[in-house]
Structure 1
């Protein structure tokens, strides 16, 4: 599956990136994610449909302020996790609400929080 972008009101959700236009790795490091292959693994998981992840971003700068992940369980459910950089908990909450709706209506899965 190709990554799906989601509009979450004041926040924009997109796939994680590390390219010449946008590099989420510095913001991920602030969130404790230091694996240099993290973004590549998340991209591969979209293609394999084993894990879906979104960067919750400031819409004017595309800066990652939180991350949301969804892992399908194979039984019609999907676990949802997320974290936010300090001061961005409202962005995470708005993103989680939108991702839950997408998981239910777009993928037909019942979301469960981890």
Structure 2
């Protein structure tokens, strides 16, 4: 599938970019260098322009192969990267996906997450005809718990983190 852009009201959801008109790589490096960010996002290393470029490329490939829908959460007038939201573990045949989310440290506390997650979930249920969207987060991540609750997810318990054996994640679901 081709990337889809979403007008999310106060924010704009678009594909991550690294081109002559818009380059998200510096903001990606800043976000991934943040201690709070790296505490919860452990699957990726984005320490330099090359790794950031690979990250952008990887998201493009995942769209193309129907593996993940991923959007840069952008400021609508400048296009500045404020974070990323996505539907990962995308199973179009089974009608399921999992929310992925992070917000740049300079943009936290502005309600960006709720707007972005709500928009991505609406896209999943409407355009992709998903029947279930899961939201998982580290038990100590109270900000993610608040986002899940404000976006209408129902907490169903704990599940094991596939990326960190032995680590439990709080699991929420929306159908």
Fold similarity call, TM over 0.5? yes
CA RMSD of aligned residues (A): 1.3
Give the TM-score taking structure 1 as reference length. Answer: 0.93
| 1:66/1:88 contact within 8 Å kept | no
| 2:8/2:119 contact within 8 Å kept | yes
Provide structure 2 residue ranges, at least 5 long, that are not aligned to the other structure.
33-44, 137-175
Match of residue 100 from structure 1: 121
| 2:86 is aligned with 1:65 | no
Matches within 5 A, 1:31-110: 31-32=31-32, 34=46, 35-36=51-52, 37-71=54-88, 72-73=90-91, 75-86=94-105, 87-89=107-109, 90-109=111-130, 110=132
Query: Residue 17 of structure 2: SS of its match in structure 1?
Result: coil
Residue among 128, 131, 134 paired with 1:112: 134
Query: Residue 102 of structure 1: SS of its match in structure 2?
Result: helix
Structure 2 CA distance for aligned equivalents of residues 98 and 2 of structure 1: 17
Which has more radius of gyration? 2
Match of residue 8 from structure 1: 8
Provide structure 1 residue ranges, at least 5 long, that are not aligned to the other structure.
none
The count of corresponding residues between Structure 1 and Structure 2 is 114
Give the TM-score taking structure 2 as reference length. Answer: 0.62
Which 4+ runs in 1 deviate beyond 3 A? Answer: none
| 1:52/1:70 contact within 8 Å kept | yes
Query: Residue 19 of structure 2: SS of its match in structure 1?
Result: coil
